Amino acid sequence: MKLDIRRAIATSLFSTIFTATVAIFVYWYRGNIPWILAILTIMGSMLGARIGGKVSLKTKPKWLQVLLAVLILTLAVISVLKIMKIM
């Protein structure tokens, strides 16, 4: 499947909107939202999205693929280390 890396990333991020929206309502209903952290996270996400969008347009698709692969691999290693209680 030949999908442009920018479209692949955008599609992935778009799809998380729905699961995140449901999660927000569940946590809100349970009273489990630390509002200060939530607001700071939203502000950081908005700023990061603007910066990331501009950087993405100026970056060659091959580098985006490499950076995405490194990010995914790093998160996988961190997850395994946490499961093994090393981290």
Residue 30 has what pLDDT? 95
pLDDT attached to residue 1: 65
Q: Tokens at residue 87, please?
A: 């981290």
The first and second tokens of residue 14, run together, are: 């778009």
How many CB atoms are located within 10 Å of the residue 59 CB? Answer: 15
Give the integer Cα–Cα distance in Å for 76 and 64: 18
Q: Kindly give the confidence (pLDDT) of every residue in the chain, 87 residues in length, as a single tens digit, with 9 standing for 90 and above.
A: 677 888 888 888 888 889 988 998 999 999 999 989 989 998 998 899 899 889 988 999 899 999 999 999 999 999 999 999 887
